Amino acid sequence: MNEAGIARRGRWFARRQLRLAGARLVHPKARFGTRCDLRSGLHLLILGRGAVRIGQSCVLDREMTIECRGSLLVGPHTVFGHHVTIGVRDSVQIGANCLIAELVSIRDHDHGFHQFDVPMLLQEPLSSPIVIEDDVWIASKATITRGVRIGRGAIVGANAVVTSDVPAGAIVGGIPARVIGQR
């Protein structure tokens, strides 16, 4: 590598360290592991007893949004694409070595809607924990809904809406997502 390349790499590393230090300072309820790469525009809102734990060497790409009232736990070496949204009211666990592509939505809660005489806006939200095990790939624009467990090594296809558990090693796609193959 020539001198210009070394200088560019040094500036990139310094910017990465500054963003990580800034996030740790601004968000004391969040814990970021070593060597995390936080890209520009991270929107992090931690309310009440919310807690965010991001493992080492994770990448949080541009304009990622995390809204957390509960517990978000992310294992090491997990990569999030740009504009990913994670909403946590109860609990979301994401394992190690996962790939979460751009524009994915992961939310452990939904609007209450069972009382017809009460506007949905005023009904208590429904929430159930989400567990995404290790080595899962969630492709672009997929949606993961409350109460879902995605097994180790599974693949969720682009634009899929996951409303029920996904077995380990399964490939799912569609709306609602269904098994379309096996690894």
What residues act catalytically? 111
> Residue 134 above 90 pLDDT?
yes
Can you list the pairs that 76-81 forms with residues at least 24 positions away whose Cβ atoms lie under 8 Å?
Answer: 76/33, 80/104, 81/140
| Alpha carbons 179 and 145: distance in angstroms, whole number | 16
CB atoms within 10 A of CB 20: 18
In the chain, what percentage of residues exceed pLDDT 90? 73
Split at pLDDT 50, 70, 90, the class of 9 is low
Summarised one tens digit per residue, pLDDT across range 37-79 is: 888 888 999 999 999 999 999 999 999 999 999 999 999 999 9
Radius of gyration of the chain (CA): 18
Q: Which domains does the chain have, with CATH numbers?
A: 3-182 (2.160.10.10)
**Type of residue numbered 98:** C
For residues 12 and 181, which has the higher predicted lDDT (pLDDT)?
181
pLDDT of residue 17: 76
| Alpha carbons 178 and 160: distance in angstroms, whole number | 9
| Alpha carbons 156 and 178: distance in angstroms, whole number | 9
In the chain, what percentage of residues exceed pLDDT 70? 98
